[in-house]
Amino acid sequence: MSTRRPHGERETGAAPDDPAPGNGGDAEAWVFETLRAECDPAGIVTLTVRVPGHRHNVVTQSFLLDLEAVLDQLDTGLPPLGLILTSGRSGSFFSGADIGRLETLLRAAPPDIEWICQAGRELFARLSSRPWPSVAVIDGACLGGGLEIALACDARVATAAPHTLLGFPEVKLGLMPGWGGTVLLPRLVGPGAAVEMIAAGESIDGPAALRLGLVDACVAPEAALAAARTLIHWRRADNAHMTARRRLSGPVDIDPAEREFLAATSAAVIAGRTGGHYPAPPAVLETILAGSGLPAREAAHIESKAFTRLITTPVARNLVRVFRLGERNRRDTGVAAGESPEATAPRDRPAVVGAGIMGAGIAAAHLRSGCGVSLIDIDPAALARAVPGILEEAAWDRATRRADPARAAALAGQLRTATQTSLLADADLVIESAVERADVKLALLRDIEAVVGRSTVIATNTSTNPIARLAMALEEPRRFCGLHFFNPVRRMTLVEVVRGPATSDATVAVAVAHAKRLGKCPIVVQDSPGFLVNRLLMPYLHEAVEMLREGTPATRIDRVSRRFGMPLGPLELYDLIGLDTAFYAGLVLADAYGDRIEASPVIPALVRAGRLGRKSGGGFYDHAGARSSRPQADAAATIAPLLAPYRLPERPTTDATIADRLFLPIVLEATRVLDEGIVRDGHDVDLAMIHALGFPPFRGGLLAWADSLGAAEIVRRLEPLADLGPRMQPTPALLALASSAGRFTGP
């Protein structure tokens, strides 16, 4: 902060020593690298921010220096009537701090981190420490450090536009606000609301921010600047901004009993959400409670120390890495060389063939993203059953936890349905989502190709059928690929874009771009049995059943997995997927990888007994019903007779051994995947494990976790398990890394 940037250039070309805006001279505007300062005839200065080199405004070092410089200029002359801070980018106020700065802080010494926190707060505080009032105009994303800038102003005007969102997402990076967020927010909205907003990391829209007291007005975008000017005149008229400043500088007035209740209830909620794996949310609670009882200046020191502790944790480092993986994926076109604009032009006439669970989910994803879609199924009854659920899912409002009837009615006009493939004649992208039978898919793909135009991309949503085999139905296999969505489509963000032997780069680029348009995270994989996700899932599920056969209780296996950070244990996941579904997928994988994974006899035994999982009321566990949210009940006594014929000798085991047997085989399979070129690099492995299988983000991804152990340590842990066969024996790639002290994730 101490490095001064030269004064901005005056647009009129006046000499550098001319008066700054607001000092009564004839200057009108000064331009800096990241912002423009302009004074209107009434003496109100407007700072318009546009940070170059970024899609959205972010808090960079250049912006901080420019803000410091313009505030210095305002201090040198007569004070302005007021100051308005707004954005020059449509739909973006500030999207938070530059992630590059955070990565620099990860390597900084604690005293330096605390100094940076303090310097940033002191700079922002200058927005509300002068005689004139300041107002932030928030139109678009106002997140993290951007919201801290807005909070540092005397008042805030938010727009009622859908793109306007306010929040503190730092906990998703293992962090907390460090520039005054935990100090100012509790003083504006109360400690309870502040804890909920910061510890949860969720954003709220303009109207909700107004109800909470976070903003002073919520208006239409075109009225925001006028509202800000009005607030300045009102605040100047009765000096209300000075009164508010005195109030915000002191402790928060909270009853001791209320404080104790907040501490107890919030701690319980946070523990339930985080499972004890994420240190940021409890640190937020502790910091807000400690700081609320002190003057703001002292509370700020508590915040700095808490932020410093968090940013030096492995969890923060891993979550920042995961964020970077997501950024990389958003920029990735799916192919090595960029395709022509024609190849990746938006597909505005997509169609889905098949109105089953997956087809309906894919159609709903299109509507939810604002893309009209055609849905075709030869069975009129299937269409009739699917449409209400599609509209309900597409119109689901997360805030109210129910579908918005008005939105559902509006979306109905964007959904076309038909029982004849002739409706596909004008489609530019067709996603086939029929049943997982190769003969049905082959016949349907022939029908689709016969109807659509030559430039139409044809994709199949399959989890088990080889793309090369299905492509045999087509005369032009270059335009064919897999587009594998996961169930439930609304919640699962990963999509596998499966490249067949003949699939062109243009087809892959179209599929990747379309998946992103639907808000998904696409990764490109080569055609192979199980593709990527099911191949990595296979050893995890298989080993759980093998341990069950050895006498390890299902509840213990799943408990160890959840303690590791997985959302479900492997046997719980079996019940969720459906054992019949898992059985057929297992046959495909066992046929391809039988040297290390044999088809388990336990799964077909449970299927024959009618124990299919949640859908039938019982699998490895007993369930109250297919759709019940009640916890599952232990079914060990019920399934014991089914397991008896397939029991294996017992092995001495510990929870650590269970964890190794569940997760180390996934690492081994990932090394094989990389050696075979199934994905382009390990980043896609980590994204797939996180987004499709729920691998804990706080561990940074599967390969980042493997690096935390080290290849040599993994080899050591596998030694006592070697008698279990090839599935527990180190691969050549693992041994090479162990001998060279190499890393799974590269340098």
Cα(92)–Cα(161) distance, rounded to whole angstroms? 11
Count of other CB atoms within 10 angstroms of residue 640: 10
C-alpha distances (whole Å) from 663 to each of 600, 689, 697, 727 are 19, 11, 15, 12
Question: What order of strands is seen across the sheet that includes strand 217-219?
Answer: 9-10, 29-31, 35-39, 44-49, 82-87, 134-138, 155-159, 217-219
Per the annotation, the verdict on 484 as an active-site residue is yes
C-alpha distances (whole Å) from 270 to each of 168, 575, 629 are 16, 28, 21
- For residue 512 the two structure tokens come to 């990747």
Q: Given 484, 623, 683, 691, which residue is catalytic?
A: 484
One-letter amino acid for residue 213 of the chain? G
C-alpha distances (whole Å) from 528 to each of 59, 496, 595 are 44, 12, 16
Say if residues 534 and 587 touch (Cβ distance below 8 Å). Answer: no
Say if residues 351 and 376 touch (Cβ distance below 8 Å). Answer: yes
Helices (H), 239-279: 240-249, 256-274
Indicate the length of the chain as a whole number. Answer: 747
One-letter amino acid for residue 348 of the chain? D
Count of other CB atoms within 10 angstroms of residue 560: 26
Cα(668)–Cα(731) distance, rounded to whole angstroms? 6
Packing angle, helices 314-331 and 99-106, rounded to 10: 150
C-alpha distances (whole Å) from 634 to each of 154, 573, 592, 645, 736 are 57, 15, 33, 20, 43
Long-range contacts of 547-553 (CB under 8 A, 24+ apart): 547/653, 547/658, 547/661, 548/602, 548/620, 548/643, 549/602, 549/643, 549/646, 549/647, 549/648, 550/647, 550/648, 550/649, 550/650, 550/651, 550/653, 551/647, 551/650, 552/653, 552/658, 553/634, 553/636
Say if residues 150 and 91 touch (Cβ distance below 8 Å). Answer: no
- In which element (H, E) is residue 331 found? helix 314-331
Cα(45)–Cα(37) distance, rounded to whole angstroms? 7
Closest CA to 448 of 465, 431, 467, 463: 431
- What phi, psi does 504 have (nearest 5°)? -85, 160
* 201 phi-psi bin (left φ>0, alpha ψ -120 to 50, beta other): left
Residue 136 β-bridge partners: 85, 156
Cα(240)–Cα(431) distance, rounded to whole angstroms? 60
Closest CA to 701 of 278, 320, 279, 200: 320
Helices (H), 340-437: 357-368, 380-394, 405-412
Kindly list the catalytic residues.
Answer: 484
